[in-house]
Structure 1
Amino acid sequence: GWVEPVDKRSKAVFMVPPGETGGARDGDLVRGEPDPRHAHQLGAPRARIVECLGNVAAPRAISLIAIHAHGIPTEFSPAALAEAQAAKAPRLEPYMLDLRDVPLVTIDPEDARDHDDAVWAEADGDPANAGGWHVLVAIADVARYVVPGSALDRAARARGNSVYFPDRVVPMLPEALSADLCSLKAGKDRAALAVHLFFDAHGRLRRHRFVRALVRIAANLSYRETQAAIDGRQSDVPCALLDAVLRPLYAAHGAVAKARAKRGPLDLELPERQVHLDAAGEVAAITVRERLAAHRMIEDFMIAANVAAAQALEAAHSPLIYRVHEEPSLEKLETLRQYLDSLGLRLAKGQTLRPRLFNQVLAKARGQPLAEGVNDMVLRSQMQAFYTPDNRGHFGLALARYAHFTSPIRRYADLVVHRALIRALRLGGPGALEEHEMLKLEETAEHISMTERRAMAAERDSIDRYLAAYYRRHVGDVLTGRIAGVARFGLFVRVEPGGGDGFVPAASLGDDYYRHDEARQALVGETTGDAYRLGDALDVRVLAADPLSGGLRLAAVGKAPGKLAPPKARPSRRAGPRDRAKRR
């Protein structure tokens, strides 16, 4: 038999000798490995089947491909499962503050699989802070259950984070914890590591105080129903909850939003595609997740809590793992400046580089035909965030110090920060950071930075394959698109509906020879001057869509979007073909 790699970058086909098929049948998805016994033989390379994963046409095969291709751990050891099953619901302990009478609420996406964080707010009663706000952010106390050196800890560290696919989640912790005892469910007593945040009338964080607590969530709300309630539209949110909890939260956020605007974090448009599956697991629709004021509110409160964690640990002279985002490199800045110059836009030079300078460019481009291209280029100019015990600030958020504290159910970095807070602030109870962990923070930071990149790649590949499955029904159709990437060998075009990225080879664009003008992010015809620029609208015909590889092959329809003057002679370098998503 024969096996064909699902990786679209691989062109090899492997022969599987009789007896090495592992019981797999034609059309099965398999995990194989090259057979070293036949490495020096002529002809097609040989492989043997290690595992049969089921039929490739099964709906759940798409995420399985990503899981196995990226080596995502999916099984917990018997010891880890036993520890999770043995965990008990929390009771009030001497080191815990009883906050069960505070009507905290969680606000999450409608499809949230766990609830890490809950919030509540009131006007600050301190006369010295007139017009100020007291916001309580309660985070699941995962450190209570996942103690250093345990089987659960080893499993969580190996994963580094949960991985989310349209049809499943690969959790960092067993479901007995991630979906139950650690999740902040309404009406249930739950252990929390909470922080009292005190803001002044201008939204500046004046002080904070961390406590371990027992909480009882008043309601698990979605962003959509929260926004509807605040806007006065029909909602299932009770009036008492709206008046006592949501209105004070929104009022407090009004102050915090002022401080954010003054700080000037990077203001990029980052649409999040959402794949909707039907009951059979097939792609029913692809939408862009709606961005509401409720999203911004929770995001700002979580950022403030993360800053407070970093500040508290620094003040206690404790080592910690920071979330770092460095400023763009000089090379990336020069590439961006050349592109902006070609559009008549200018990124100021000679000043201290701040996110606000990029925001000025984005604001000028907003509403213009090439606004999406400008947004994409600014995004690509940014560095990828990572974890390190060395503080280098967070450029994108315009913050001098930042750590991840608010999602310990799904990120190991947050769990380490929780442990550090328990130790440094002497909060009592189990789960404090141990000496041997402190000595390995750099190693841990490097590891979880890797697992985050691994998860991002797996999630992105899975989305690409689901999109390809969706576009199979559009093969032969002409769709509207926009050029999302320009390389020497062709164009990457983002098509609608769905927002999938497909490829148009340069050789298919016409009789002219198209030269890559990297400075202007364009392919330009040497004879005609016809140009295809980043951000240009372009109608395309879908030629092929392959769910196995995630590939989407397109052909340009009609004339080039415009013309440019002949490009200046300059070295041609191959541009990065795909946008690399950046995470905070």
Structure 2
Amino acid sequence: MSKADTPRSNKTKRAAVYAPGVIPTREEILEAVLAYPDIASKRDIARYFGIKGDDRKALKAVLREMEADGLLARERKTIRIARELPAVTVLDIPGDADPDALHAFPSKWNEEDGERPRVEIRTPGNARVVPAPGDRILARIDRGEELVPNYTGRAMKILAKPRKADIGVVRMDEDGARLVPVERKAREMRISSGDLGNARDGDLVEVEIVESGRLRIPRAKVVSVVGNPQSEGAVSLIALHALDIPYRFPAIVLREAAAVEPAGLEGREDWRDIPLITIDPADAKDHDDAVHAEPDTDPRNPGGHIVHVAIADVARYVQPGSAMDREAFVRGNSVYFPDRVVPMLPERISNDLCSLRSMENRPAMGLRIVIDAEGNKKSHSFHRVMMRSAAGLSYERAQGAIDGTPDDETGPLLEPVLKPLWAAYAALARAREKRGPLALDLPERRIRLDDKGLVADVYVPERLVAHRLIEEMMVLSNVCAAETLEKRNVGLLYRVHDEPGREKLITLGEFLKSLNLPTPRGEGMRPRDFNQILVRAEQEGKSEQVNEMVLRSQAQAEYAPENFGHFGLNLDRYAHFTSPIRRYADLIVHRALIRALDLGDDGLSEAEELRLGQIGQHISATERRAMAAERETSDRLLAHYLADRIGSRFTGKVAGVVGAGLFIRLDETGADGFVPVSSLGTDYFRFIEEQQALVGERTGERFGIGDRVEVRLLEAAPMAGALRFEILSEGMRGEAPGRGKRSQRKPGQSPRGRGKPAARPRGKRR
């Protein structure tokens, strides 16, 4: 191959003559197109390199490959260099990316510029931002010196990932088809018959927005059919798709789970003679914790107890780096809906091999804890064991036996198993009382569905001693895990809950002051201080308002390799250990314990330890995603449940206040809805932040957080999970804000002061 000449300017091209059968390389083609902008077509490239005859076909094949690889872009007959990434850009890391070798793609990319370039993500050991699969990041880009782009990136910030693009439910009517969006603020759109694809009435679909006609009216075009929430009996399908939660296991994961052999006794202590029992909800399918207690016969510990806890040994079956491990990491946790469970692990693992079923041998991580008569821990030790659950009980059955109504199974367990457990819990409860964790009273409503997957009942489960017993033993076990790993100097993921920030405490103090209640004493607040406020609020009949505001003042718990304690539980160190079937954090802690205590060769790897920051960030995000999905699904189910009760009256409380209106939570169902400020009356309502209330500027009428109200249901949008109410009851009367300043305000000018103006009312309250 010989070139007659080389490029010298952008205006003059000199032919580079190639011998017959010799085609220029990619690099040479890129050099030419970069040097001479007027090379704009395949013909120009062939002329430049002197390619003639049959060699033109070979050249075209090379150019097609360069387009496919994102090196060249073509618009009709024009060829140009594909757009390069800017120095700082937004990237999306695929959910199935290898955590040890992350890669990403630009979040926005014009397909006319060729294939999206791949960016290798570099995360140095001292990085402050540690991304994970599935994250959207703002990244600094390094192109490299090669002509063929070789991009690497370093994460600067993890960004909130937008919801999956436009989805909705197809509804057929006399005019054709329309899309009912699942987003609350989105509007319905029409779908042309030619844009329906295979979608049918009731299908959940993903669409793209197209414009048509002179007025450019937006219409929807079906891109794919996600499923049918009615036929699949799963309203949760909407949240799963909207929040991009994986709910189908890849074939390789299922094959890997099916090939797993049950664990044997080798390398394990035999705990099968210890009558451990599981106590779970009546409808639980996986059982990952079992408990046992007995009096301590050591004379040095009078009145003390020995507690045994066994936790499913998920680490035995889910090996680091395996397909199951990668999928579990991507999911982060199981997601629980009223109509389905999306597990972190395949059912072969979660509901079978790892589930501590009654009278079946199961591998477990065992924990032996010695406590004194007051519930203080004296010692503990971890063991890798084989156990056999003596019984699988529901909370109600275990409590019933203690309360005097045993059945055929719980009767024989009462004296040897249940009463010693309750005695040990009584000691732990005394220790808990002394510790003084945050004691918020926030009843949790549950939805019960009928055979059609619709709401049959909404109820608040009775809070039993059996619930508290299991919770307290699990809290103690989690503390033991954190203490052991700290002592052995092995990395772990703490479950951390920071103390409230200064601004939130100020907001809470101003609110309490408006209720004539004691205010926080500033920095250094402990859970016991909040509990005193809650007790005083209950005495004053203001418990609902104060519980809500104290909850809002708290930070959000998360996972992190750095420890700053758990404020809510009032614990110095805490790590989730007790639910490895449904939480990836617990699996990491299990592996860390195996490594720290030399309990096997399947412990935490060095690579995993280096990625603990990344793992913590990722699973904290998947936990928040799961909470959002569960909440949205409940909202949709309840909106559907109430849709045929338009015009009905309900009692409830004000659960939130913003300038635009009031959020109302109904007593009957716990459903949340909105009252626009425009419907409150003829007064001008202002949002008073320190009171968390809307206050009428002329009348002083006040609607504040926690207030009891009566409302009428005006509108229900089941697919969006939205309800709209109007207030029927009068607000409390008080001093009108800023009366003296009203005359100083020019027409149309917003009121001054801390209050924020709400929208002008448009009519009288009915």
Bin the TM-score by the shorter chain.
Answer: over 0.9
Aligned to 2:380, what secondary structure does the other structure show?
Answer: strand
Note closer, same or farther for the CA distance 1:71–1:117 as it changes in structure 2 (3 Å cut): same
Mapped contact 2:234–2:339 kept (Cα < 8 A): no
Query: What corresponds to 2:684 in structure 1?
Result: 513
| Residue 735 (structure 2) pairs with residue 565 (structure 1) | yes
- Provide the secondary structure at the position in 2 that maps to 1:400: coil
Letter in 1 for 2:203: D
Aligned twin of 1:407: 579
1:376-395 map, 5 Å: 376-395=548-567
Provide Cα deviations, 1:7-31, integer angstroms capped at 9, x if missing partner: 10334x4554554423112442212
Q: Alpha-carbon deviation of 1:88?
A: 2.2
Match status 1:340 vs 2:512: yes
The separation in 2 between residues aligned to 1:563 and 1:483, in whole angstroms, is 16
> Does 1:44 pair with 2:217?
yes
Q: Summarize the alignment of residues 227-376 of structure 1 with structure 2, pairs less than 5 Å apart.
A: 227-350=399-522, 352-366=524-538, 368-376=540-548
Deviation at 1:482, TM superposition (A): 1.1
Give runs of aligned pairs for residues 62-101 of structure 1, distance below 5 A: 62-93=235-266, 95-101=267-273
The aligned amino acid for 2:706 is G
Which deviations, in whole Å up to 9, do the C-alpha atoms of 1:513-559 show, x marking residues without a partner?
A: 11111111111111111111211111111112221000011111132
Q: Tell me if structure 2 keeps the 8 A contact 1:146–1:431.
A: no
For residue 489 of structure 1, report the CA deviation from its aligned partner.
1.1
**Are the aligned partners of 1:370 and 1:536 in contact in 2 as well (CA < 8 Å)?**
no
1:305 deviates by: 0.2
**1:553 and 2:724 correspond:** yes
In structure 2, C-alpha distance between the alignment counterparts of 1:217 and 1:375, rounded to whole Å: 39
Shift of 1:237: 4.1
| Cα distance per residue 1:386-444 (max 9 Å; x no partner) | 0100001000000001000000000000000000000011112x521111111111111
Check 1:266–1:319 CA distance in 2 against 1; reply closer, same or farther (3 A cut): same
Q: Which residue of 2 aligns with 1:524?
A: 695
One-letter amino acid of the counterpart of residue 569, structure 2: L
Correspondent of 1:533 among 690, 700, 704? 704
Residue of structure 2 in register with 1:159 after alignment: 331
- 8 Å Cα contact 2:505/2:520 also seen in 1: no
Aligned to 1:579: none
Number of aligned pairs? 569
List aligned pairs for 1:476-487, cutoff 5 A: 476-487=647-658
Give the equivalent residue in structure 2 for 1:422: 594
1:358 CA drift (Å):
0.6
* Mapped pair 1:471 → 2:642: yes
Matched, 1:3 2:186: no
Larger deviation, residues 521-530 vs 304-313? 521-530
Three-state SS of the structure 1 residue aligned to 2:634 is: helix
Alignment match, 1:172 = 344
Secondary structure, in 3 states, of the residue corresponding to 1:566? Answer: coil
Q: 1:369 to 1:507 in 2, by over 3 A?
A: farther
Q: Give the SS at the match of 1:359.
A: helix
Report the CA distance between 1:167 and its aligned residue: 0.7
Describe the SS at the equivalent of 1:512. coil
Whole-angstrom CA distance in 1 between matches of 2:426 and 2:229? 51
Corresponding position of 2:373: 201
SS at match of 2:183: coil
1:189 aligns with 2:361: yes
How many Å separate the matches in 1 of 2:407 and 2:734?
Answer: 53
**Pair 236,510 (structure 1): closer, same or farther in 2 beyond 3 Å:** farther
Q: Name 1:578's counterpart in structure 2.
A: none
CA deviations on 1:55-75 (whole Å, 9 max, x unpaired) are 455572411101101111012
Classify the secondary structure of the residue corresponding to 1:110. coil
**Segment drifting more, 166-175 vs 15-24:** 15-24
Distance (whole Å) between structure 2 residues aligned to residue 574 and residue 460 of structure 1 = 30
Gaps of 5+ in 2: 1-176, 739-751, 759-766
Closer/same/farther in 2, CA of residues 49 and 485 from structure 1, 3 Å limit? same
- The alpha-carbon distance between structure 1 residues 290 and 82, as it changes in their structure 2 partners (threshold 3 A), is same
Residue type at the aligned position of 2:199: A
How far did 1:308 drift?
0.2
Native 8 Å contact 1:62 1:547 kept in 2: no
User: For residue 24 of structure 1, what is the aligned residue in structure 2?
Assistant: 199
SS at match of 1:252: helix
The answer to whether 1:146 aligns with 2:318 is: yes
TM superposition shift of 1:365: 1.2
Query: Which residue in 2 is equivalent to 1:137?
Result: 309
Q: Which amino acid aligns with 2:240?
A: I
**1:566 to 1:236, Cα distance in 2 relative to 1, 3 A:** farther
Moved more, 182-191 or 74-83: 74-83
1:366 Cα deviation from its structure 2 partner: 1.6
SS in 1 for 2:181: coil
1:39 Cα offset (Å): 11
Cα separation, partners in 2 of 1:234 and 1:188, compared to 1, 3 Å: closer
Secondary structure, aligned partner of 1:262: helix
Higher alpha-carbon Rg = 2
The CA distance in 2 between the partners of 1:431 and 1:260, in whole Å, is 35
**C-alpha RMSD of matched pairs (Å):** 2.0
| Residues 110-161 of structure 1: per-residue CA shift (max 9 Å, x gap) | 1212111000001112222222111011000000000001000011001000
In structure 2, the partner of 1:211 is 383
Does the 8 Å contact 1:160/1:411 carry over to 2?
Answer: yes
Which residue is 1:494 aligned to?
665
- The secondary structure found in structure 2 opposite 1:459 is helix
Determine the structure 2 residue equivalent to 1:581: none
Tell me, in whole angstroms, the C-alpha distance in 2 between the residues paired with 1:335 and 1:317: 40
Q: Look up the equivalent residue of 1:109 and give its one-letter code.
A: P
Kindly state the Cα deviation for residue 236 of structure 1 after the two structures are TM-superposed.
Answer: 4.9
What's the offset of the Cα at 1:4? 3.6
Q: Which residue of 1 aligns with 2:53?
A: none
State the percentage of identical aligned residues.
53
Match of 2:603 among 432, 437, 441: 432
Task: Describe the SS at the equivalent of 2:206.
Answer: strand
8 Å contact from structure 1 (residues 490, 505) kept in 2: yes
What TM-score results when the alignment is normalised by the length of structure 2?
A: 0.72
What's 2:138 paired with?
Answer: none
Amino acid paired to 2:384: R
- Looking at structure 2, the residues matched to 529 and 481 of structure 1 have their Cα atoms a distance apart, in angstroms, of 22
